């Protein structure tokens, strides 16, 4: 039994209707398809499993057209469909059906973020880099904060021993703190990590970032004490505090871990940045 589609029960969109040039469908040689690595993910271990599953069960009835955009040199940048295109190549297919859209690089990145934003195969870090390439205002604002604080949001997974000073995966926590606490508090919190004790490699973590922002937000005189704050935090053992709290993370909620870290930092700074001493130094 079939029934026709109807839009009658939905409200009309309030935004201006500006869909851009109409797309078209075309079979395109896989040799002309490329990936913009500045924002798109590489095919990792889980992605490889997905590619193999598609290839093993290859069927055109299950193959949605690949979304692509024309780029220089007669090539087409894949906006969505890297996995299924790779699977088609494994099956010896030299062409795949493509949904061709007219979009510059910023719009391609924005489309990638929109298409992949609600599915688990794309990480928060990958979406951040896509939105940054698309010049999304929030992503640009976060990038500016990271530049000042000497923080780099990683694109791919590294083991803890490989993570260098300022490198992090905590883009969700960074975005949340920027929105909730503001630019200045977040920059100062990050500098407490990256500009003390040799940079504290591997410690730009969500629990630590959010704990620092909470403490500095509730005690503005600490946040505004400049070098005195960094001098004090130079003696804080981030790795020790993290290891002690992380040891029991399976038994506690993330919010509890953050509170525990915040309390450690709060007590540490209270002993070293007394209000009277800060006034005298000023």
Burial of 63 (C-beta count, 10 Å sphere; 0-12/13-18/19+): middle
In a domain, 224, yes or no: yes
**Are both 157 and 66 inside the same structural domain?**
no
User: Given its phi and psi angles, is residue 25 left (phi above 0), alpha (psi -120 to 50 degrees) or beta?
Assistant: beta
pLDDT computed for residue 256 by the predictor: 87
**Are both 95 and 176 inside the same structural domain?**
no
**Are both 36 and 90 inside the same structural domain?**
yes
225 backbone dihedrals φ, ψ, rounded to 5°: -85, 0
**Are both 151 and 224 inside the same structural domain?**
yes
Q: For 195-200, what is the mean pLDDT? A: 94
Task: Say which residues have a Cβ less than 8 Å from residue 64's Cβ, sequence separation at least 6.
Answer: 81, 84
Boundary of a domain, candidates 85, 105, 125: 105
Q: How many domains does the chain have?
A: 2
Q: Of all residues in the chain, what percent carry a pLDDT higher than 70? A: 93
- Is residue 99 predicted with pLDDT exceeding 90? yes
Which residue range forms the structural domain that includes residue 195?
A: 136-275
The domain that holds 79 is classified in CATH as 3.90.1530.10
pLDDT band at 252 (very low <50, low <70, confident <90, very high): low
pLDDT in tens, 158-183: 777 889 999 999 999 999 999 999 99
In a domain, 58, yes or no: yes
In whole angstroms, what is the distance from residue 119 CA to residue 106 CA? 21
In a domain, 114, yes or no: no
CA-closest candidate to residue 42, choices 159, 155, 165 = 155
**Are both 65 and 163 inside the same structural domain?**
no
Decide: 106 and 28 in contact? Cβ < 8 Å. Answer: no
pLDDT band at 120 (very low <50, low <70, confident <90, very high): very low
């Amino acid at each position: 039994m079939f029934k026709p589609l109807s839009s009658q029960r939905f409200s009309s969109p309030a935004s201006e209707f500006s869909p851009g040039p109409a797309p078209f469908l075309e079979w395109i040689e896989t040799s002309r398809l490329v990936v913009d690595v500045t924002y798109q993910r590489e095919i990792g271990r889980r992605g490889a499993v997905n590619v193999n599953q598609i290839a093993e069960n290859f069927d055109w009835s299950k193959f949605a057209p690949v979304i692509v955009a024309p780029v220089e040199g007669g090539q087409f940048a894949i906006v969505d469909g890297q996995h299924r295109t790779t699977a088609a190549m494994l099956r010896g297919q030299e062409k795949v059906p493509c949904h061709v859209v007219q979009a510059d690089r910023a719009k391609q990145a924005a489309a990638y973020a929109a298409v992949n934003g609600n599915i688990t195969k794309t990480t928060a870090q990958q979406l951040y880099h896509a939105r940054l390439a698309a010049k999304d205002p929030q992503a640009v604002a976060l990038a500016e904060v990271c530049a000042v604080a000497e923080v780099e949001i990683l694109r791919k997974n590294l083991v803890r021993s490989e993570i260098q000073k300022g490198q992090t995966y905590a883009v969700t926590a960074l975005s949340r703190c920027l929105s909730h606490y503001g630019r200045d508090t977040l920059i100062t919190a990050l500098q407490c990590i990256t500009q003390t004790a040799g940079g504290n490699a591997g410690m730009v973590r969500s629990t630590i970032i959010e704990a620092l922002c909470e403490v500095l937000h509730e005690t503005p005189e600490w946040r505004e004490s400049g070098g005195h704050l960094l001098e004090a935090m130079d003696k804080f053992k981030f790795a020790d505090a993290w290891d002690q709290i992380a040891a029991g993370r399976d038994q506690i909620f993330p919010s509890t871990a953050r509170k525990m870290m915040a309390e450690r930092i709060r007590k540490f700074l209270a002993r070293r940045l007394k209000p009277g001493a800060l006034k005298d130094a000023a």
